[in-house]
Amino acid sequence: MEDFSKIENALRVNFKNKDLLIQAFCHRSYLNENPTFRLHHNERLEFLGDAVLELITTEHLFNKYPDKPEGEMTGWRASLVNSNILSDLAKELHFEDYLLLSQGEKKEKGRARKYILADTFEAFIGALYLDQGYDACKNFIEKELIKRKLPEIIEKKLYKDPKSLFQEKSQEIISITPTYQVLEESGPDHMKKFIVGVFLDKEMVAEGKGSSKHEAELDAAQKALYAKDW
């Protein structure tokens, strides 16, 4: 097991109850292989952290942007606390080095790992709240999440649905409406995988993957925005 004092030093937090910190990184799968481990998995902490995270981001947006309508702030908040942003941030903060996972889960990368990292970030917030209270969570979330991620979300309009945003940009810049085409469909009914291409006229701009056509289209649109630097 990693030395958790290293992540405390890196994050500049010092847990009074070290077990709360370790539990935040303990995935359910770890206990399947280590049934005598003294701590529980992190799902209850994740449940608490999710609520704390939502309240603190809501309060920050409400106070910082008094002229913004509710709808716009809702979009910003949803972007700040979505699993992609949280997993990216958890990776930047090196949470991955401290995950307590089964041997099987350690080999899993991609989307499954992203969800685990996002959940772990929420569990960490839950642990921090229990250990040090609301103000410590507020300082951490404002410094590490909001200041790092909100400017990019606003500037790149990441709070908008990527399909809507790509359509808006392509119509505005080149007067073409994008179209989507399923390039590949595989797997049994309960585990379908789709690869979808997004086209501007006859040019395929990007491919997206997902477990549904809609998910694959959103992924393709997001990649197309990056490909076109829009």
Q: Active-site positions?
A: 50, 122
Give residue 216's Cα distance to chain centre. 17
Residue at 210: amino acid letter: G
The string over 21-44, giving b where at least 16 C-beta atoms fall within 10 Å of a residue's C-beta and e elsewhere, is: bbbbbbbebbbeeeeeeebebbee
**Residue 125: CB partners within 8 Å, gap ≥ 6?**
48, 49, 50, 52, 53, 137, 140, 141
Tokens 């997004």, residue located:
198
β-strand partners of 200: 203
Q: What are 32's two structure tokens?
A: 């399947």
Q: What whole-number distance in Å separates Cα of residue 155 and Cα of residue 126?
A: 30
Structure tokens at 82: 């979505």
First-to-last C-alpha distance (Å) of the chain: 43
Query: Environment class of residue 67 by beta-carbon count within 10 Å: exposed (0-12), middle (13-18) or buried (19+)?
Result: exposed
**Joined tokens for residue 162:** 């990527």
Dihedral sign, Cα of residue 133, residue 152, residue 212, residue 167: positive
